[in-house]
């Protein structure tokens, strides 16, 4: 039950698994197909769950928020990332060719998203999930240097923009996508990849998060070694005197690869107080609210 997988509940609805740790007896997830209707807007999804599946809402002591967490007793099927995909012939052909390229480079992977669920159309992209870390990321960088994986350009940016309508402030940051390795073009088709770490830096049972308020700040990245994964984490130095936090995290893949060491970001997110055994600190969690963003400065 890791990021990149899907589950089907007893009602036949499909949910995307989120994160790497889960509450006892439940799984963090967001709906993708609810009553056979596709849902990509997180706020809309929450409203639908509120009205249709209120038992899936959970007052979570780990996150300190009310979240969607599907009871395990209601899970009928788990769909893991796979190389068995369905979709338009041109899209499937490009995805299979990309799969061969990744395999030859030694990158273990699977497909997720619409190709995995069989809901892809001619406007769909290729969604890839990789369970790994810096080794896999370096191999993808090599493929970019060889121009096998190409940066996004104006021919596919409109597709990215369409997929980001649920977070309007992400639109001005689309230019930053052109330097990302995990977002790009292959065979003239948009691909998006997420690298999911094999080990998460928090435990559900021993970490407690206390939400404070939504804040905007300017930060300088001091350590981006975990900035390319989903979830992502950046160690930062706030340049605003009133911003008292030491890291920026996100559980959304669109906020991976947003900056490197020494770069400055303008960010908006939920300020959280984090309590772990022997340690208390503050961080900014980006991607919970539709108004959240990360924007490279300069």
pLDDT single digits (tens) 52-107: 899 999 999 999 999 999 999 999 999 999 999 999 999 999 999 999 999 999 99
Let me know if residue 69 belongs to a domain. yes
Count Cβ atoms below 10 Å from residue 208 Cβ, excluding itself: 15
Closest CA to 298 of 245, 250, 262, 255: 262
In the numeric block, which tokens belong to residue 287?
A: 């991607």
Q: 66 and 135 in one domain?
A: no
Q: 96 and 183 in one domain?
A: yes
Closest CA to 140 of 102, 108, 169: 102
Is the confidence at residue 43, as pLDDT, over 90?
A: no
- Residue 54 contacts by C-beta under 8 Å, 6 or more apart in sequence? none
Report the pLDDT value the prediction gives residue 161, as an integer from 0 to 100: 77
Burial string for 251-261 (b: 16+ CB within 10 Å, else e) reads: bbbbbbbbbee
Is the confidence at residue 198, as pLDDT, over 70?
A: yes
Q: 214 and 269 in one domain?
A: yes
pLDDT over 70 percentage in the chain:
97
Q: What is the pLDDT of residues 251-264, one digit of tens each?
A: 999 999 999 999 99
Q: How many residues does the chain have?
A: 298
pTM: 0.93
Is the confidence at residue 47, as pLDDT, over 90?
A: no
Q: Token pair 């975990």 is at which residue?
A: 226
33-47, 91-105, 121-135: least confident range = 33-47
251: CATH: 2.40.50
For residues 263 and 24, what is the distance between their CA atoms, to the nearest angstrom?
A: 39
Q: 270 and 187 in one domain?
A: no
Q: Token pair 């995290």 is at which residue?
A: 249
- pLDDT tier for residue 240 given thresholds of 50, 70 and 90: confident
Q: 182 and 101 in one domain?
A: yes
Listed residues 196, 222, 256: the one ending a domain: 196
The arithmetic mean of pLDDT across residues 217-226, rounded, is 96
Is the confidence at residue 245, as pLDDT, over 80?
A: yes
Average model confidence (pLDDT) for the chain?
Answer: 92
Number of domains in the chain: 3
Q: 276 and 223 in one domain?
A: yes
Q: 288 and 222 in one domain?
A: yes
- pLDDT tier for residue 114 given thresholds of 50, 70 and 90: very high
Q: 290 and 244 in one domain?
A: yes
Listed residues 55, 79, 103: the one ending a domain: 79
Is the confidence at residue 182, as pLDDT, over 70?
A: yes
Listed residues 60, 79, 98: the one ending a domain: 79
- What's the DSSP call for residue 103? H
**Residue 45, domain extent:** 6-79
pLDDT over 90 percentage in the chain:
78
Let me know if residue 202 belongs to a domain. no
Q: 112 and 29 in one domain?
A: no
The arithmetic mean of pLDDT across residues 211-240, rounded, is 95
- pLDDT tier for residue 132 given thresholds of 50, 70 and 90: very high
Count Cβ atoms below 10 Å from residue 87 Cβ, excluding itself: 23
Let me know if residue 201 belongs to a domain. no
Report the pLDDT value the prediction gives residue 175, as an integer from 0 to 100: 72
Q: 171 and 108 in one domain?
A: yes
- Residue 135 contacts by C-beta under 8 Å, 6 or more apart in sequence? none
- pLDDT tier for residue 20 given thresholds of 50, 70 and 90: very high
The residues with which 247 forms a beta bridge, in sequence order, are 235, 283
């Amino acid at each position: 039950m890791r990021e990149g997988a899907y589950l089907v509940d007893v009602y036949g609805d499909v949910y995307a698994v989120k994160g790497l740790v889960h509450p006892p007896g439940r799984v963090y997830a967001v709906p993708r197909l609810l009553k056979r209707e596709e849902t990509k807007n997180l706020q809309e999804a929450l409203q639908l769950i509120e009205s249709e599946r209120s038992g899936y809402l959970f007052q979570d002591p780990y996150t300190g928020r009310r979240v969607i967490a599907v009871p395990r007793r209601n899970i009928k099927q788990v769909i893991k990332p796979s190389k068995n995909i369905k979709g338009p012939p041109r899209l499937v052909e490009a995805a299979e060719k990309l799969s061969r390229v990744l395999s030859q480079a030694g990158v273990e992977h699977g497909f997720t998203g619409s190709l995995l669920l069989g809901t892809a159309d001619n406007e769909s992209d290729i969604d890839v999930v990789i369970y790994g870390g810096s080794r896999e990321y370096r191999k993808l960088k090599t493929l970019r240097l060889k121009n096998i994986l190409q940066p996004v350009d104006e021919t596919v940016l409109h597709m990215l923009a369409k997929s980001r309508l649920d977070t309007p402030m992400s639109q001005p940051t689309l230019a930053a996508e052109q330097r990302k390795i995990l977002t790009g073009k292959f065979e003239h088709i948009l691909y998006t990849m997420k690298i999911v770490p094999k080990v998460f830096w928090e435990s559900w049972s021993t970490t407690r998060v206390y939400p404070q308020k939504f804040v905007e700040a300017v930060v300088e990245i001091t350590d981006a070694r975990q900035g390319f994964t989903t979830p992502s984490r950046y160690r930062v130095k706030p340049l605003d005197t009133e911003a008292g936090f030491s890291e920026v995290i996100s559980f959304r893949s669109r906020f991976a690869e947003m900056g490197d060491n020494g770069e400055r970001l303008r960010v908006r997110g939920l300020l959280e107080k984090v309590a772990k055994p022997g340690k208390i600190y503050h961080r900014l969690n980006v991607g919970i609210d539709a108004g959240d963003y990360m924007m490279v400065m300069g």
